Amino acid sequence: MHGPAVPENQPRLCRALERRAELERRAVEAVVRAFSDGEPTDTEPSEAYGDLRLDTVEADGDGVILHLTDSCGRHFLDGYWPAVRFDDAHDVVRVTVEA
């Protein structure tokens, strides 16, 4: 008799969740860098930490994606949100806007 099936990306997801706070902070910083005009000011990241909240963590064959919610609605149009892809070494690979 076999145990329950383990999705192939579950270990990747578990590793990301163990580092959730760090990855969330780095995701917010990546969004600020990606969408700032020029070099972000010292206050932009700290302001963004209060506005951009972790919504979903998704694992796939290439790494993990953190989907953030714009909690105040000032940064992204309604129905759009930033997503940050990390590779298996938890380095930021790409910042996108999802719908």
β pairing state of 63-70 and 52-60: antiparallel
- Cα 24-30-31 angle, rounded to 5 deg: 90
3-state DSSP: the chain helix, strand, coil percent, rounded to 5? 35, 30, 35
| Tens digits of pLDDT across the chain (99 residues) | 455 555 889 999 999 999 999 999 999 999 999 999 899 998 999 999 999 999 999 999 999 999 999 999 999 999 999 999 999 999 999 999 999
Dihedral pair phi/psi, residue 35, rounded to 5°:
-115, 10
Which pLDDT value is given to residue 7?
81
Which pLDDT value is given to residue 6?
54
Which pLDDT value is given to residue 53?
97
Position 52 in a domain: yes
Position 4 in a domain: no
Position 49 in a domain: yes
Position 74 in a domain: yes
Of the candidates 58, 67, 66, 56, the residue with the CA atom closest to the CA atom of residue 10 = 58
CATH of the domain at 49: 3.10.450
13's tokens: 């997801």
d(CA 86, CA 95): 9
Position 3 in a domain: no
The residue segments making up the domain with residue 46 are 10-98
- Number of structural domains found in the chain: 1
Position 71 in a domain: yes
Does the pTM exceed 0.75?
yes
Position 40 in a domain: yes
